[in-house]
Amino acid sequence: MEDRVLFTLNHILQKKKRKITLESRLREDLFVDSVDMSMIIGDLEDEFEITITDDEFADVVTVNDIVEKLKARGLSDY
């Protein structure tokens, strides 16, 4: 699952040319803004075939927080 999340973030943020790790902070390290976050959520919805509300990810700070939120929904690699 971590690889799928990292791939999604790399796809969305490729123009920012930042190294993305599970420990990367979205706003401080990757400079993710609200538009980026909407695109990330949209891509994650497509990738995992789920619906995510903005509120669900409002408290996400790191890339690993995204992974943990998805795992908490019972998602895993398949």
State if pTM tops 0.85. yes
Q: Which domains does the chain have, with CATH numbers?
A: 1-13+21-73 (1.10.1200.10)
| Annotated catalytic residue 29 | no
Per-residue confidence band for 75, with pLDDT thresholds at 50, 70 and 90: confident
The pLDDT confidence band at residue 18, using thresholds 50, 70 and 90, is: confident
Main-chain phi, psi angles of 34, to 5 degrees? -65, -35
Whether 13 has a pLDDT exceeding 70, the answer reads yes
What long-range pairs does 32-38 form, CB within 8 A, spacing at least 24?
36/12
Question: Active-site residue among 3, 33, 43, 65?
Answer: 33
